[in-house]
Structure 1
Amino acid sequence: MYDYLIVGAGLFGAVFAYEARQRGKRCLVIDKREHAGGNVYTEHIEGINVHKYGAHIFHTNSKPIWDYVHQFAEFNRYTNAPLANYREELYNLPFNMNTFHQLWGVVRPEEAKQRIEEQRQAAGITDPQNLEEQAISLVGTDIYEKLIKGYTEKQWGRSARDLPAFIIKRLPVRFTYDNNYFNDQYQGIPKGGYNVIIDKMLEGIEVRLQVDFFEQREELVKSAKKMVFTGMIDQYYDYRYGVLEYRSLQFETKFLSWTGNYQGNAVVNYTDRQTPYTRVIEHKHFEFGTQAGTVITEEYPTEWKPGLEPYYPINDEKNNEIYKQYKALADQESDVIFGGRLGGYKYYDMHQVIAEALTAAGRELGK
């Protein structure tokens, strides 16, 4: 008999399992994939650590979280500074003075502010009702048309006019020459990839891979006193109140032997509507690699359906109402802890998942 059955070997499950083992608890961790690590898993290809499920850059303002992950791995000094490619025109991200100079030739912050204000006033938007109106009210029409509209509509598979305004509200806009995408104090990539962290967290814990919880549910539930569930909460309850919607991603990864430097940057976003993928990731740049070849991944957003991986919860009014009903059921459970993106139907960055898992572990196991 295990103390905890942990469904999902991603960050939430791995952190909880590690904390439980530190307190002398016996855990069984299962995952339907052939590897642990969830979406932070890195695959080793031609000497390069490839972020198999999209770019993952660790960043946080929390020193306790930063210190916590450092007990499992050493981090490098990588700073996220993506580029935007709009029909072969290149712009710095996030939106900052470099971007404004590239767009308009302005060199001083007041000139950039004036351009944006003129475009805001011309648009006449006083109470933004959707993503398009919110974006224009934040950065004006030029930036919206070139750097937001196409990318966002590809990402979500919907017109920007049909998307809620809150998606774009945390958009970084700076009037300094600063290409660092995140405002967080701490940032980097674990040396050797995220597998180093996951492997150390799960060391000494029984892990079974390629195990589908729903195919062996009755047997697995009986094997433990309590369960930590990080899968889809609607699936757990057999879709009683309906199916929650997600956006998914498809990845096309290629090894290029003919060049050691394909695009000169780890992440380049393609913001025009015609290019089918949203971004190209060149993985070696995350760890300042000097290998002779390189590995790139094109990222294609798609509507989620059973059989695909669910990545981004669609937190619109309809889906949030459905989730509330599932959350009410989850709150009544005494022996099941729900967590992570799928268990909580919420998009989390890595540091947020770790914080949530530590909170859950502290509440369950004691500090």
Structure 2
Amino acid sequence: MQKYDYLIVGAGLFGCVFAHEATKKGKKCLVIDKRNHIGGNVYCENIDGINVHKYGAHIFHTNDKAIWDYVNQFASFNNYINSPLSISKGKLYNLPFNMNTFYQLWGIKTPNEAKEIIDKQIKEYGFKTPQNLEEQALSLVGKDIYEALIKEYTEKQWGTKATNLPAFIIKRLPVRYTFNNNYFNDAYQGIPIGGYNKIIDGLLEGIDVKTNVDFFKDKNTLIDSANKIVFTGKIDEFYNYKYGQLEYRSLRFEHEYLKSENFQGNAVVNYNDTNVAHTRIIEHKHFEFGKQKHTVITREYPEKWSLEKEAYYPINNNENQTTYQQYKALSLQENNIIFGGRLAEYKYYDMHQIIASALQKAKQEFSS
């Protein structure tokens, strides 16, 4: 007889939300994760009073009040507004592209002046039917913005020339003709006070959890321990790469403790230039307006992915999408396995989208 109603493979946001909802319905769950901690990529490590986002900057933002209310059950949020800076050829620029950026680029002060320059450059350098990312970007924002703030950063991020990348990677590039550095347009945003671990701990309260457990090393025994499986890992790995490997980009993080009070004056600073290996530096204390006499920074390096490395960004080109659809067809034939999350669905999700997806899957599961 099975001990659990659900075995949840992966203690990231999707798995934790599903486990929480299942437990509310009286189901017994076991959550496992191969890492030595819970929380997946939103995990924070407290280093001398600073909550360090171990797997890159996570800023919660949503327009969905129901999702906002959901996460606020578990933690109070501060009023952090994401206003990244970008360094290109030794100059600092504000993001997203707005009147501050245009003043820094061209010395202009009015929206009409900025619009005139951008429209002229789009007309001169743009393409009616862009065939790659470079052509798409030039068609959206023109030459100056593209060359200063998009080209080299994107090529570092993806490890190839912008002309080799598909146009659909950049569906739109928001251009604002106001002096507004708020990166997100969402009505609700902030950082949980005390870090994301508070939310994860709240979601998993009273639920059996095991870390340092590799599902694939004891797959049959683990499957036999529950009536149903919720799988949030790589879908191709689940099916033993039957149709080949899906591709990803990976990241490497270098954390550094500094005995100075303030390293860069901002939580996130992007580094565009190719001759700088990292794409950005995160200074974690600024997420929670820390006043400590020390600081912790993280340099983020994009890397070519391999099976030994963590998969971060799916490479959603046509070839990978075709392969994923084959795996998805297999998953739809399963009666006792629920696939969810960015790895299982081969899709990039923001945090609010992951939570919404998990809530929807739980609703479907428990509506009958």
- 1:309-334 Cα shifts (integer Å, max 9, x gaps): 00000000000000000000001111
Q: Secondary structure at the match of 1:227?
A: strand
Give runs of aligned pairs for residues 103-182 of structure 1, distance below 5 A.
Answer: 103-182=105-184
Task: Say if 1:333 and 1:93 are closer, same or farther in 2 by CA, change over 3 A.
Answer: same
- 1:330-356 Cα shifts (integer Å, max 9, x gaps): 011110000001000000000000000
Q: Which residue of 1 aligns with 2:284?
A: 283
Q: Distance between the aligned counterparts of 1:170 and 1:357, measured in 2? A: 27
The letter for the 2-side match of 1:306 is L
Q: Which residue of 2 aligns with 1:218?
A: 220
Q: Distance between the aligned counterparts of 1:123 and 1:341, measured in 2? A: 35
Q: Secondary structure at the match of 2:138?
A: helix
Q: After the TM superposition, which parts of structure 1 deviate over 2 Å for at least 4 consecutive aligned residues? A: none
Give runs of aligned pairs for residues 273-312 of structure 1, distance below 5 A.
Answer: 273-312=274-313
Q: Which residue of 1 aligns with 2:42?
A: 40
Figure out how many residues of one structure are paired with residues of the other and give that number. 366
Q: Which residue of 1 aligns with 2:51?
A: 49
Q: CA RMSD in A?
A: 0.8
Q: Distance between the aligned counterparts of 2:80 and 2:174, measured in 1? A: 19
The letter for the 2-side match of 1:111 is E
CA contact (8 A) 1:172 1:181 kept: no
Q: Distance between the aligned counterparts of 1:296 and 1:144, measured in 2? A: 28
Q: Distance between the aligned counterparts of 2:163 and 2:178, measured in 1? A: 30
How far apart are residue 86 of structure 1 and its match?
Answer: 0.8
Q: Which residue of 1 aligns with 2:325?
A: 324
Q: Secondary structure at the match of 2:344?
A: helix
How far apart are residue 366 of structure 1 and its match?
Answer: 2.2
Compute the TM-score of the two structures, normalised by the length of structure 1.
0.99
Q: Which residue of 2 aligns with 1:207?
A: 209
Q: Secondary structure at the match of 2:361?
A: helix
Unaligned runs of 5+ in 2: none
Q: Distance between the aligned counterparts of 2:364 and 2:172, measured in 1? A: 30
Q: Distance between the aligned counterparts of 1:165 and 1:91, measured in 2? A: 25
Q: Distance between the aligned counterparts of 1:180 and 1:361, measured in 2? A: 33
Q: Which residue of 1 aligns with 2:67?
A: 65
State percent identity of aligned pairs.
66
Unaligned runs of 5+ in 1: none
CA contact (8 A) 2:152 2:273 kept: yes
The letter for the 1-side match of 2:45 is E
Q: Which residue of 2 aligns with 1:19?
A: 21
Q: Distance between the aligned counterparts of 2:110 and 2:295, measured in 1? A: 38
Q: Distance between the aligned counterparts of 2:41 and 2:305, measured in 1? A: 16
The letter for the 1-side match of 2:42 is V
Q: Secondary structure at the match of 2:189?
A: strand
Q: Secondary structure at the match of 1:35?
A: coil
CA contact (8 A) 1:230 1:339 kept: yes
